[in-house]
Amino acid sequence: MGRSERQPRVDALAEPFRVATQTIRRDIDTRRNASVQRRGHGGARRLSPSAPPPMPHRPCTALPLTRLALTAAIVAACVFGAFAPTAVNAAPLIVAHRGGTGDTPENTVQAFTNALHNGAQALWMTVQVTRDGVPVMYRPADLSALTNGRGKLADIDYADVKTLNAGYAFSRKDASGQTVYPYRDHPLPIPTLREALAAVPANVPVLLDMKQTPAAPLVEAVIKVLDETNAWSRVRLYSTEAEATDRMRARRPQAQLFESRDATRNRLVAAALAGQCTAPPASGTWAGIELHRQVEVVERFTLGEGVSKVVANWWTPAAVQCFKSHPDVHLVAFGVETPQDFEAASQLGFDAVMTDSPARLRAALDKPGKDAAK
């Protein structure tokens, strides 16, 4: 089933809340359509003025975090399918990369909560495991990259990790243009996976990047926390290492997994260079890669090789159609930082876009006039 054929899903339990949520959704869609029209995107997807707003679940998480807590009705409407199939008019969800690494020290509780207040509707988190088996939110290979510590997480016990400042290397420019480090005097801890999940409303989807090799200790630690917190339904799991996702699939068949990056890239290359749709993903699959990507095309011949560098705009309508050959396939565009890229992803039919700065992207999308496209 193609995107144009999909209909918004109405959960039986969410149906009683239709009236309570319809006005809020109409306001959101009206503001979004007005903003798109001001930016001059004539091809933007809009709700038909003659039809009442459908019952998509996505717009509910576009509300500020404080409004999310207003009524159980709105929360319930969100919980039953934040990533459910939606009408073709629905804009993609905004996913905060590492909690919004451009706005707040990445992968901290403060980053996650700030991202939601800044308009993110889902959170990308990065997880590794300590020597004593505690999964914590951290991305780089060495602690010295972001903290006042050093060494690999796999070589350090959690008791030592929790003393480190996750915001130590975070910098910004002050009013005079000087680089400052605002969190060196106001340290932020590295949260555990359990703490991160507890800090985020249960209706907010979490995209969890398993970022460590060997994968086995990390996968087992993640499984333990997701089992104990009953969080499988809200978490989607990703890794650039197929070992991690393959092991997770074998250990927990119910896990919602992204396909391997290799599979996504190879299918895009085949579509772009050969015009072929090779092995489209099965129903229920998640796939994500950059909307645009600097790549190298290598040609090998007898006397050596030739290399061509190009920015691949590999997501085309044909490529998206290939990926969505089967129903319930979800696509996430990485690296969406401008209104132009957001609109391109929206037109292509992406389910979500990932950004380093929800604050900047939301501000740009809401800015009236031509300046929003600059």
Where in the chain are the domains?
Answer: 93-141+191-366
Q: What is the pLDDT of residue 90?
A: 78
Supply the pLDDT for residue 238: 98
Residue 369: half-sphere exposure toward Cβ, Cα within 13 Å: 1
pLDDT at residue number 38: 44
Distances (CA, A) of 145 to 12, 106, 142, 150, 170: 48, 12, 6, 8, 10
Query: What is the pLDDT, as a whole number, of residue 88?
Result: 52
pLDDT value, residue 75 = 36
Q: How far apart are CA 100 and CA 121, in angstroms?
A: 12
pTM of the model: 0.77
Query: What is the reported pLDDT for 79?
Result: 36
pLDDT for 30 equals 52
Note the pLDDT of residue 84.
52
Its CATH class, for the domain covering 93-141+191-366, is alpha beta
d(C-alpha 7, C-alpha 78), whole Å:
17
pLDDT at res. 368: 76
Strands (E) located in the chain: 93-96, 122-129, 135-137, 172-173, 179-180, 206-210, 235-238, 256-257, 286-290, 293-301, 304-312, 330-334, 352-355
What's the pLDDT score for residue 69?
35
Beta carbons of 350 and 331 less than 8 angstroms apart: yes
Q: What does the pLDDT profile of the chain (374 residues) look like in tens digits? A: 444 443 333 333 333 334 334 443 454 455 455 544 444 443 433 323 333 333 334 444 434 444 433 333 343 334 335 555 444 547 999 999 999 999 999 999 999 999 999 999 999 999 999 999 999 999 999 999 999 999 999 999 999 999 999 999 999 999 999 999 999 999 999 999 999 999 999 999 999 999 999 999 999 999 999 999 999 999 999 999 999 999 999 999 999 999 999 999 999 999 999 999 999 999 999 999 999 999 999 999 999 999 999 999 999 999 999 999 999 999 999 999 999 999 999 999 999 999 999 999 999 999 876 444 44
Which pLDDT does position 135 carry in this prediction? Answer: 99
* Confidence (pLDDT) at 204: 97
> What is the C-alpha to C-alpha distance for residues 291 and 53, in angstroms, rounded to an integer?
29
